Structure formats: structure tokens, C-alpha cells
């Protein structure tokens, strides 16, 4: 992409980070609009716009054009994402909801790990000049299949229902606070340096100020209209708060693992993008196998199933760390792949159960905004984890080499997953004396 469009490092940073910021800006507002005006409509709008922007991105002839298209693509992704969990909340109850979230968790795990494989294969087959374009083009036929299926299978809002009042200022404030708060964590350059300079951390204070204004506005709006963006019942929901905290810590460690492995394989050992992706594929297989089972078991074992999954994942990451330190180069690929498979089994036992338990006692009428808050928190966690790992890797690259730096920074990922485990254990003990109602 850099060669084809003659893009500078700043433009490349915007192509990546602009997409993430646009999602953060719209995911909570779109969830609220879906709750109020119809999730099927928002789902089709989001995926249709995403497909169109994918087509336009693949046709890009300049870096500035692609930056704008990626912002719009992220915006449509932000419209789409919260509708999925909201629709599951709306369409399923009890154990059936757990199964549905299990299938969604399998999709997330498999897609996260297989993305580099598919992307690497496309670049390899189409060549470096045009391969990146097909990474965008491949979305278009998928969208063309999904839209008619969505129109046929997803439930429409009941016409007789009076749509609740829409808090437009509140929607704008929460979206702005989310986006501004994420900027410091995605402003890291490709060599681990602070891409936006030290002033970026002041944006956290700006985000906190916007959030304070939002909370004051919401209190006033709820008193007057009983239609706040963040329903008071959501804020008071203890199970929901625990689930959000677990999601932040887990995704901070989860996504940064792929970054560590990719950096050591490609930058340190000279593996191709396709080969690096193939080594990560067993993680996807493990996650895909575990997630549907976890979706069925979570209604029986609750948070305890997640605790087991997190312990298994920590064990797998510990093995990966030892492999990076001591395994001969000739055996590194297959040993990482085997360790990744067992780590994937643990991961698949975490994502969908946490989604199920977090939303279990959330009323379906606010399922979209509840899902939006979860997704923003997960992206914040991912961004924080990526920043820590990227800066740590390059800080240790010169003295320790690629493998030593990766092994050391993987400990940060392990620590973040460990935080998620501690929170899950606390919630497990809490739930032993308090059974949440599945809505």
C-alpha cells in the first residue's frame, strides 16, 4: 500500500487509526439508535455502507483519498457492530442466547486469527502492487450475500411500538468522549515511538471533561424524559460492570498476543506474512472448537467456566513464552502453533461466555447500547495493550533481539490476562450468593 500510493508514515497511521477512531465514535450512539429505531435497519445500513467503502478503498489512487474512505468505513463498522449483540438479546432467551453468543464468539476468535492468513494469501497471490486492494474487495461479495439474508431473517421493529425519545446531545457526547479517549493509545508509530508526541496524553483529560459533561447532561435528561442514552439500570447492574472490566483486561492481553508473535516471526526471523498467519491459524481452530461448547456450558457453570478458560489460556501463553526463549529456530514454527492451539481453546472459553454473562440481566430494549459500551471498552483495552506491547518490544529489541524482546513483552500480555482472571474469580465468588436473572 505504501509503495502503490506513495504514502508517508503519517498517512499510513491515519489509514489504520482513523478506522479505529471512527468505530469508537459511533458504536455507542449507533447501538442506542438501533434500540430506539430498529436494529435490522441499522444492521443493513452499516453492512451496506461498509461494503461500499470496501469497494471504494480497493479502488483508491491516493493516500489522502484512502484516509477519508477508511474513516467512513470505520463509521459504518461502528453502526453495524452493536446491532449483532442487540439482535441476539432480542431474538434469544436463556440457554439459547448462550448458544448464539457461543457461535458469535467462535466467529470472533476464528476471524481474528485467520485474518492475517487470508490477507497474507491475497497479497501473495495478487502481488504487492494490488494484493492490498483485494483485502478490501473480498468484503464486497460477502456483503451482497448478507444484505438479502438480513432483510429476510432479522426481525423488524414492531410498527405499533412508539419509538423512545432519542437523546441526540447525549449520543454525540458519549461518542466524542470515546473517540478522544482512544487517540493517545493508537498514536504509536511503527517503531514504537509516540507518533503524536507527549501532548497526546492530555487528551485523556479532555475525554474525562467531555465524559463529565455527558454524565451531567444524562442526569438532567433522564429526570425530564426518562430516555437517557445510558439507562440508569445499566449503570447499576453489577454483573454488567464486572463483565465490562473483564473485557477491558482480556482484550488488552488477547489482541497483543498476535502482535508479539507476528513481530518476532516477520521482523525477527524473516517469515512471510502468509507463513506468520498460518502459524497463528491453530489458535483460530482451538477458539472455533471451544466457543460453541462454551456457549452451551455457560448457563450451567457460569463464570466458573470462564475462570477455567482463562487459566488454560495463561498456561498456553506461558508455554509460548518459553518456546520463544529456548526452542531452536528450526522447531519454533510448529511449537508455537501447538501452544497457540491450546491457547485458542482457552480463548474460545472466555469471549462468548463473558458476552453472555455480561448481558444476561440487561433488558433487551437497551441491548444495543449495552453492546456498544462493551465494544468500546474492549477496543480501549486492545489499544492500551497494543501500545504497551509495541513500545516494550522496540525498547528491548536492541539489547535482547527479536525473540528475547517478544518473550519479555509477552509477559505484559500474560499480566493483562491475569488481571481478567482475578476479576472473573471475584465475580464468581459474588455470583455464588447471587443468581442473576436471564432476560
**Predicted local distance difference test score (pLDDT) of residue 9:** 67
- The reply to whether 436 falls in a domain is no
- The reply to whether 437 falls in a domain is no
**Predicted local distance difference test score (pLDDT) of residue 4:** 82
- The reply to whether 435 falls in a domain is no
Compute CA distances 203 → 7, 156, 195, whole Å.
Answer: 27, 40, 14
- What domain count does the chain have? 1
Whether 249 contacts 419, CB under 8 Å: yes
- The reply to whether 349 falls in a domain is yes
Residue 227 pLDDT > 50: yes
Structural domain span for residue 142: 2-429
Residue 27 pLDDT > 60: yes
Residue tagged 469471549 (cell numbers): 351
- The reply to whether 434 falls in a domain is no
Taking only the tens place, the pLDDT of each residue in 237-273 is: 898 999 999 999 999 998 778 777 877 888 788 887 7
More confident residue, 53 or 278: 53
Three-class DSSP category at 161: coil
Residue tagged 463529565 (cell numbers): 212
- The reply to whether 209 falls in a domain is yes
CATH of the domain at 20: 1.20.1250.20
What is the pTM for the complete model shown? 0.85
Residue 190 pLDDT > 60: no
**Predicted local distance difference test score (pLDDT) of residue 438:** 47
Taking only the tens place, the pLDDT of each residue in 131-143 is: 889 999 999 999 9
- The reply to whether 189 falls in a domain is yes
Residue 426 pLDDT > 60: yes
Taking only the tens place, the pLDDT of each residue in 237-247 is: 898 999 999 99
- The reply to whether 58 falls in a domain is yes
Of the pLDDT bands very low, low, confident and very high (cuts 50, 70, 90), residue 363 is: confident
Residue 148 pLDDT > 60: yes
**Predicted local distance difference test score (pLDDT) of residue 271:** 83
259/256 Cα distance (integer angstroms)? 5
DSSP letter for 217, please: H
Taking only the tens place, the pLDDT of each residue in 293-320 is: 998 888 888 889 999 999 999 999 999 9
**Predicted local distance difference test score (pLDDT) of residue 245:** 95
**Predicted local distance difference test score (pLDDT) of residue 318:** 95
Amino acid at each position: 500500500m505504501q509503495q502503490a500510493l506513495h504514502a508517508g508514515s503519517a498517512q499510513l497511521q491515519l489509514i489504520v487509526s482513523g478506522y479505529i477512531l471512527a468505530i469508537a465514535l459511533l458504536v455507542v450512539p449507533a447501538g442506542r439508535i438501533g434500540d430506539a429505531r430498529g436494529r435490522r435497519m441499522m444492521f443493513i445500513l452499516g453492512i451496506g455502507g461498509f461494503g461500499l467503502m470496501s469497494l471504494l478503498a480497493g479502488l483508491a489512487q491516493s493516500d489522502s483519498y484512502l484516509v477519508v474512505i477508511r474513516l467512513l468505513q470505520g463509521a459504518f463498522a461502528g453502526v453495524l457492530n452493536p446491532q449483532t449483540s442487540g439482535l441476539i438479546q432480542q431474538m434469544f432467551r436463556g440457554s439459547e442466547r448462550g448458544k448464539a453468543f457461543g457461535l458469535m464468539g467462535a466467529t470472533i476468535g476464528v476471524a481474528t486469527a485467520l485474518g492475517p492468513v487470508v490477507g497474507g494469501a491475497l497479497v501473495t497471490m495478487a502481488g504487492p502492487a494490488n494484493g492490498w486492494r483485494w483485502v478490501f474487495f473480498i468484503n464486497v461479495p460477502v456483503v451482497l450475500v448478507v444484505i438479502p439474508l438480513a432483510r429476510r431473517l432479522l426481525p423488524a421493529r414492531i410498527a405499533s411500538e412508539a419509538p423512545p425519545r432519542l437523546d441526540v446531545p447525549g449520543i454525540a457526547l458519549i461518542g466524542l468522549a470515546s473517540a478522544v479517549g482512544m487517540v493517545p493509545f493508537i498514536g504509536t508509530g511503527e517503531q514504537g515511538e509516540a507518533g503524536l508526541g507527549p501532548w497526546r496524553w492530555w487528551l485523556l483529560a479532555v475525554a474525562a471533561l467531555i465524559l463529565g459533561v455527558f454524565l451531567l447532561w444524562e442526569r438532567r435528561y433522564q429526570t425530564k424524559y426518562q430516555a437517557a442514552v445510558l439507562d440508569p439500570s445499566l449503570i447499576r447492574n453489577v454483573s454488567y460492570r464486572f463483565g465490562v472490566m473483564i473485557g477491558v483486561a482480556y482484550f488488552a492481553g488477547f489482541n497483543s498476543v498476535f502482535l508479539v508473535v507476528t513481530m518476532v516471526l516477520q521482523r525477527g526471523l524473516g517469515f512471510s506474512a502468509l507463513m506468520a498467519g498460518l502459524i497463528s491459524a491453530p489458535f483460530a481452530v482451538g477458539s472455533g472448537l471451544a466457543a460453541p461448547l462454551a456457549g452451551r456450558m455457560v448457563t450451567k457453570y457460569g463464570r466458573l467456566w470462564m475462570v477455567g478458560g482463562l487459566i488454560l489460556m495463561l498456561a498456553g501463553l506461558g508455554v509460548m513464552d518459553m518456546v520463544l526463549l529456548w526452542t531452536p529456530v528450526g522447531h519454533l514454527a510448529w511449537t508455537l502453533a501447538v501452544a497457540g492451539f491450546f491457547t485458542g481453546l482457552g480463548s474460545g472459553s472466555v469471549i462468548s461466555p463473558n458476552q453472555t454473562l455480561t448481558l444476561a440481566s440487561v433488558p433487551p430494549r437497551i441491548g444495543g447500547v449495552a453492546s456498544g459500551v462493551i465494544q468500546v471498552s474492549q477496543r480501549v483495552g486492545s489499544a492500551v495493550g497494543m501500545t504497551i506491547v509495541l513500545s516494550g518490544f522496540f525498547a528491548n529489541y536492541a539489547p535482547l533481539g527479536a525473540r528475547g524482546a517478544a518473550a519479555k513483552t509477552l509477559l505484559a500480555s500474560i499480566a493483562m490476562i491475569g488481571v481478567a482472571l482475578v476479576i472473573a474469580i471475584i465475580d464468581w465468588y459474588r455470583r455464588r450468593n447471587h443468581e442473576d436473572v436471564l432476560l
